[in-house]
Amino acid sequence: MRRRDLMLGTVSLAGAWALLAWLVHSPVLPGPVEVLRAFIREVPRGLGRHFLVSGWRVIASIALSMALAVPAGLLLGQSPRLNRIFAPIIYILYPIPKIVFLPIILLLLGIGNASKVFIIFLILFFQVLVVVGDQARALRPELIYSVRSLGAGRRALFRLVYLPATIPAALTALRISVGTAIAVLFFAESFATTSGLGYYIIVESWGRLAYPEMYAGVLAMSILGLLLYFIVDLMERRLAPWMFVKD
Amino acid sequence: MMPSAHAMLQIEDLVFAYPEGGQAPVFDGFTWQVNAGESWAVIGPSGCGKSTLLYLIAGLRQPTSGRVLVDGQRVPRPRASTGLILQDYGLLPWATVWENVALVMRIGRFYRGKAGSGLGLRPYPREDITARQVDGWLARLGIENLRDKYPGQISGGQRQRTAIARSLLQQPNLLLMDEPFASLDALTREDLQQLIVDLRRETGVTPPGASARGEALDRREGVTTVIVTHNIEEAVFLGQHILALDHAPNTSAHVIENPEAAHAAYRDQPTYLQKCTELRSALTSR
């Protein structure tokens, strides 16, 4: 995405927002300028801290899920025996909306960071695991044969073939899951906690009808989502440059 | 029994059936020998076991019974001094031409300390391959200007040149090719067949990067080549000996001698066309 297009998109959205705010003419929907002012005002007053807390939680979840799901997916993808054992379990667990476990997780891990990180990890883990496993299984045998014929054993195959082959798929899974991760974070932070953007929006702002502040929180959450999107984009360009070359 | 000093490949009473298929064996009591430095072509109808034979020699498949000996030793796993060039999909799509060729160097360093030396059964590739040798082979194959391109950005012929460079970088004494030029257009195919002939003549010595530094030659005999093809002209041009396989199960090696092959000018000689006709009738009469 070019920077100019991104700016244009932001200005168009802000324009549409301003128009809607003017039409609705209610304190429930303040205009973008008022929200931006509130945002600047609120950042040093606690919004910045809530942003960092939420950002830390979601990044820790992503790192944890990638660190565990990529190797697990690779193992399942290249070992038919392991796959036979685990595939039915994953098949059953994958479609379960993991958010339903939140009350149990809160009971077990408490209301601090651990429960938030764990619930997002749980969601991302299965997404990445399934995609990486599928990708590793889909590798052409000719490619494996030719690298094995160069003297590569299992360890070298993992490092030089399976891992790079599955990076794009893992990042795509991540890109798709980032939105879900933030939505879940918002939900998990909106009760039984004292920090995070969800807490700021629901408890600190919505609860006392401070609409501009509430929208400042929404803006912060959107920035967090956008930032993560940028990071995934950047990782894709750094880790999978061959995906972007032109013929 | 000790193998003959010149036997690069000995197949004795080979029986092979795909374990997953539950079908009749592809090879049943099959015996075949290839001497060091020879150039062979293997031809036969689809499904006759040509590629299977190559995978057995490469150590990627194991015989049901019987013996497959390469350089006098069994091949329970791929042997780094056997090069394998496949029709396609052999290059890493995420690595540049240079990185693909240098893969063998990387694998060698990956297993640093574990590699043995010499040309016998060597499961790990050599540790002593240098970036300069990679550059040398890229230049020899005429693909040095493509070094930073990805396989998806180059033509089929250029991809096969990359695969050939990579195989030769590991300094093989046995080079196996599985229909390497089947997906290429006629002119590119002829160009690469010619390249194989030239390289066979040259690779009896040493890689270009090494010779530039005056390193000691570590091979005396030319590389032994086995090319699997379904193309009669290709088999006749490249195979001084042609193994004609029949529909499975193959129980004996039907060999057609073709001593004039593997010379650059052979294609223009009347004997080449005669041999093509002879091979065609040998294949159709069976």
Per residue in A41-50, pLDDT tens? 988 988 999 9
Q: What are the tens digits of pLDDT across the range B54-107?
A: 999 999 999 999 999 998 888 888 887 888 998 877 899 999 999 999 998 888
Report yes or no on A206 lying in a domain: yes
Query: Taking CB atoms and an 8 Å limit, are A143 and B89 in contact across chains?
Result: yes
Q: What one-character-per-residue DSSP string does A42-83 give?
A: HIIIIIHHHHHHHHHHHHHHHHHHHHHHHHHHHHHHH-HHHH
For residue A68, is pLDDT > 90? yes
* pLDDT for the residue numbered B45: 85
Contacts of A151 in chain B (CB under 8 A): 78, 80, 104, 107-108, 111, 122-125, 170
Rg (CA), chain B: 18
* pLDDT for the residue numbered B36: 87
d(CA A206, CA A208): 5
Query: Taking CB atoms and an 8 Å limit, are A150 and B110 in contact across chains?
Result: no
CB-based contacts of B5, cutoff 8 Å, min separation 6: none
Question: What is the DSSP-derived secondary structure letter of residue B268?
Answer: G
Contacts of A166 in chain B (CB under 8 A): none
For residue A169, is pLDDT > 90? no
Residue B6 dihedral angles phi and psi, to the nearest 5°: -100, 0
Check if B93 contacts A (Cβ < 8 Å): yes
List the beta strands (DSSP E) in B106-222.
174-178
**Domain residues for A169?**
60-239
- Cβ atoms of A157 and A147 within 8 Å: the answer is yes
Contacts of A150 in chain B (CB under 8 A): 78, 80, 103-104, 107, 125, 166, 170
The partner residue sitting opposite B124, judged by closest CB among A151, A160, A242, is A151
Query: Taking CB atoms and an 8 Å limit, are A159 and B55 in contact across chains?
Result: no
List the beta strands (DSSP E) in chain B.
7-16, 27-35, 39-43, 65-70, 73-74, 82-85, 174-178, 224-229, 241-244, 254-257
Check if A143 contacts B (Cβ < 8 Å): yes
Q: Which of A140, A144, A148, A150 to mutate to test the interface with B (most CBs of B within 10 A)?
A: A150
* pLDDT for the residue numbered B23: 73
The partner residue sitting opposite B84, judged by closest CB among A145, A153, A242, is A145
* pLDDT for the residue numbered B126: 73
CATH number at residue A235: 1.10.3720.10
Query: Taking CB atoms and an 8 Å limit, are A242 and B106 in contact across chains?
Result: no
d(CA B122, CA A10): 60
d(CA B3, CA A99): 67
B 22-81 residues with CB below 8 A of A?
Answer: 55, 58-60, 77-78, 80
* pLDDT for the residue numbered A138: 86
- Cβ atoms of B147 and B98 within 8 Å: the answer is yes
Number of domains, chain A: 1
| Closest Cα in chain B to A167 | B94
ipTM over 0.85: no
Residue-level length of chain A: 247
| Closest Cα in chain B to A141 | B89
Q: Which residues pair with B250 in a beta bridge?
A: B27
Contacts of A162 in chain B (CB under 8 A): none
Q: Which helix (H) or strand (E) holds B156?
A: helix B156-169
Query: Taking CB atoms and an 8 Å limit, are B110 and A160 in contact across chains?
Result: yes
The partner residue sitting opposite B86, judged by closest CB among A146, A161, A165, is A146
CA distance A160 to chain B (A): 9
* pLDDT for the residue numbered A59: 92
Place of tokens 């003959």: B4
* pLDDT for the residue numbered A173: 87
Place of tokens 């329970």: B76
- Cβ atoms of B246 and B237 within 8 Å: the answer is no
- pLDDT: which is higher, B97 or B125: B97
| pTM: predicted TM-score of the whole model, two decimal places | 0.79
Report yes or no on A246 lying in a domain: no
For residue B206, is pLDDT > 50? no
Q: Which of B55, B77, B92 to mutate to test the interface with A (most CBs of A within 10 A)?
A: B92
Report yes or no on A79 lying in a domain: yes
Question: Chain centroid to CA B142: how far?
Answer: 20
Report yes or no on A94 lying in a domain: yes
Among candidates B12, B97, B86, B76, which has minimal Cα distance to B50? Answer: B86
CA distance A152 to chain B (A): 6
Task: Taking the CA atoms of B149, B150, B152 and B154 in sequence, report the sign of the dihedral they define.
Answer: positive
Contacts of A165 in chain B (CB under 8 A): 94
Question: Quick one: pLDDT band at residue B1, thresholds 50, 70, 90?
Answer: very low
- What is the arithmetic mean of pLDDT over B159-171? 88
Contacts of A245 in chain B (CB under 8 A): 149-150, 152-153
- What is the arithmetic mean of pLDDT over A76-89? 88
Contacts of B163 in chain A (CB under 8 A): 146
To the nearest whole number, what is the mean pLDDT of chain A?
Answer: 89
| Closest Cα in chain A to B91 | A143
Report yes or no on A82 lying in a domain: yes
Among candidates A124, A139, A144, A154, which has minimal Cα distance to A62? Answer: A124
- Which whole-number Å values give the CA distances from A204 to A13, A38, A88, A182, B131, in the listed order? 26, 14, 44, 19, 61
Report yes or no on A44 lying in a domain: no
Contacts of A161 in chain B (CB under 8 A): 92
Q: Which of B18, B52, B89 to mutate to test the interface with A (most CBs of A within 10 A)?
A: B89
Question: What is the DSSP-derived secondary structure letter of residue B41?
Answer: E
Query: Taking CB atoms and an 8 Å limit, are A151 and B80 in contact across chains?
Result: yes
Question: Quick one: pLDDT band at residue B148, thresholds 50, 70, 90?
Answer: very high
Task: For A46-70, give one letter per residue: b (16+ CB within 10 A) or e.
Answer: ebeebbebbbebbbbbbebbbeebb
A 113-142 residues with CB below 8 A of B?
Answer: 140, 142
Q: Which of B107, B149, B176 to mutate to test the interface with A (most CBs of A within 10 A)?
A: B107
- What is the arithmetic mean of pLDDT over B222-227? 88
Query: Taking CB atoms and an 8 Å limit, are B58 and A143 in contact across chains?
Result: no
d(CA A140, CA A146): 10
Question: Quick one: pLDDT band at residue B204, thresholds 50, 70, 90?
Answer: low
| Closest Cα in chain A to B168 | A150
Give all domains of chain B, ordered by start, each with its CATH number: 7-284 (3.40.50.300)
d(CA B57, CA B76): 10
